[in-house]
Amino acid sequence: MRRLVMILAATALLAGCGKKEAAPEVRPPAEVTVMTVTPRDTPVSYEYVGQTQSSHQVQIRARVNGFLDQRIYTEGAMVKAGDVMFQQDKKPFQAQLEVARGGLAEQQARLQTANDNLAQVKPLAALNALSVKDLDDATGQQQAAAAAVQSAKATVVQAQLNLGYTTITTPVTGLSSFARVQDGAYVNAENSLLTYVEQIDPIWVNFTLSENDLLALRTEQAAGALRLPPKDEYTVELVLADGSIFPQKGKITFANASFNSQTGTFLLRATLPNPSGELRPGQFVRVRVSGAVRINAIRVPQQAVLQGAKGHFVVVIDKESKAEIRGVQVGQWYGDEWFITAGLKPGDVVATDGVVRLTPGAPVKIVPPAAPAARQ
**Using CB atoms within 10 A of its CB, is residue 372 exposed (0-12), middle (13-18) or buried (19+)?**
exposed
Dist CA 27 CA 1 (whole Å): 51
For residue 239, with 0-12 CB atoms within 10 Å meaning exposed, 13-18 middle and 19 or more buried, which class applies? middle
Q: pLDDT of 286-328, one tens digit each?
A: 999 999 999 999 999 999 999 888 899 999 999 888 999 999 9
- Rounded distance between C-alpha atoms, residue 153 and residue 155, angstroms: 5
Bridge partners, 238 (sequence order): 287
The three-class DSSP label of residue 135 is helix
pLDDT tens column, 167-223? 999 999 999 999 999 999 999 999 999 999 999 999 999 999 998 888 988 888 898
Region of poorest pLDDT, from 22-36, 106-120, 161-175: 22-36
pLDDT at 137 over 90: no
Q: CA-CA distance, 318 to 358, in Å (whole number)?
A: 13
Q: Compute the distance between CA of residue 208 and CA of residue 233 in angstroms, rounded to an integer.
A: 17
Q: Output the average pLDDT for the chain.
A: 89
pLDDT tier at 7 (50, 70, 90 boundaries)? very low
325-348 mean pLDDT: 91
